[in-house]
Amino acid sequence: MRLFRHVLLSLPAAAMVVLATTAPASAQPERAQGPDSTTASPALTDDGARIDTFRAARNVEEYWTPERMRNAIPVTSDETGAGRSSGVAEQPSGPLGSTPAAGPVGMRAKLVETSVAGKVFFTKPSDGKNYVCSASALNSGSKQMAITAGHCVHEGNGGAWMQNWAYVPQYRNGDKPYGTFTAKQMRTFNGWINDGDFDWDVAMVTTWPQGSDKLVNRTGGNGLSWNYSRQQDITINGYPGNKDNGQLQWYCEGRTSDSGGRLALGCDFGGGSSGGPWMREFSQSSGMGQTNGVTSTIDSAGVNRSSYFGDSVKQMFDDQGSVT
């Protein structure tokens, strides 16, 4: 396993580069039975209003001042706290598959970081405090989607949806080179929503465009993989709060192992790294790969784990990927 802190270079503006790293809406959201089914909710502000116009999205962007971003608390999700693992992880029931990654419009060579990954900021309804996670852009028909951990969009265990949710690609010590993308709709598994089950700790979020620019068109987006072996050569990236205070992008690479049905790799990525992508076939020349997991937990030995990506994650992608 190799762990890296990247040295930041002086680059041309918009250069992209290899990794360094709510209450429920009043209208009834779609809901199905079973932990492997998903529920979607419109994004909300901390006063319960829907983020359903460009102006409302801009208000959320303006909420996230540099001071609020700097002071946001890295989310820590440990297995003795907010959630648990049922130990009944999904088994592949169909052929393995992948969707294509997509580079941004006018793609350039990458050197240090990747524009595909960034930080997520949100307000937690249960305590009203601001928190931070990691996420990444995911190529889909909408070109507007990000993927993160379930506990970065919903409190779990019957709690509420996170509020004021915003994604900042390639955040770097307060800099926002690609702007801020506010959530429009969020989706996660009922296994997380109802039970706080880490086997289902995955979420996908449709974001508002920045003017006429959609997220993936601006930053690029990873592909998605599902039904692959739990032993994979993987690159993980994100913003762990225990490294550079979560202000710089980090990455870790190695071969995962099967840990009770989840994927495991000893990267020692602490709070704030939740939701960062676990990528197969990561390319340092493009800064993109195939998302095959997202950071979910860390244990006392520094081992990070991800939910397994099977047919249910692919179904989530199909359900959310065309939402605009």
CA distances from 18 to 131, 158, 237 (A): 26, 38, 10
User: What pLDDT, on the 0 to 100 scale, is given for residue 79?
Assistant: 42
Report if residue 161 sits inside a domain. Answer: yes
Return the closest-CA partner of residue 160 out of 317, 39, 318: 39
Report if residue 137 sits inside a domain. Answer: yes
Q: Which helix (H) or strand (E) holds 32?
A: none
Burial of 236 (C-beta count, 10 Å sphere; 0-12/13-18/19+): buried
Could you list the residue range(s) of the whole structural domain that residue 210 is in? 35-85+112-320
Q: pLDDT (tens digit, 9 = 90+) per residue, 121-144?
A: 999 999 999 999 999 999 999 999
**Encoded tokens for 41:** 């909710």
In this structure, the number of other CB atoms found within 10 A of the CB of residue 55 comes to 8
The series of mean pLDDT values per 10 residues for the chain, 324 residues long, is 45 32 38 80 95 96 96 75 59 71 52 84 96 97 97 95 98 95 98 95 97 94 96 95 94 94 95 96 90 96 96 96 94
Give the number of residues written for the chain.
324
| 44 and 160 Cβ atoms separated by less than 8 Å | no
User: What pLDDT, on the 0 to 100 scale, is given for residue 86?
Assistant: 62
Report if residue 154 sits inside a domain. Answer: yes
In this structure, the number of other CB atoms found within 10 A of the CB of residue 278 comes to 31
Report if residue 277 sits inside a domain. Answer: yes
| 134 and 316 Cβ atoms separated by less than 8 Å | no
Report if residue 95 sits inside a domain. Answer: no
Supply the CATH number for residue 301's domain: 2.40.10.10
Burial of 164 (C-beta count, 10 Å sphere; 0-12/13-18/19+): buried
In DSSP notation, 105-153 reads TT-----S--TTEEEEEEE-TTT--EEEEEEEEE--SSS-EEEE-GGGT
Report if residue 288 sits inside a domain. Answer: yes
The whole model's pTM is what? 0.85
Q: pLDDT (tens digit, 9 = 90+) per residue, 75-99?
A: 876 543 445 666 666 766 677 777 7
Report if residue 55 sits inside a domain. Answer: yes
Report if residue 172 sits inside a domain. Answer: yes
The total number of structural domains in the chain stands at 1
User: What pLDDT, on the 0 to 100 scale, is given for residue 18?
Assistant: 30
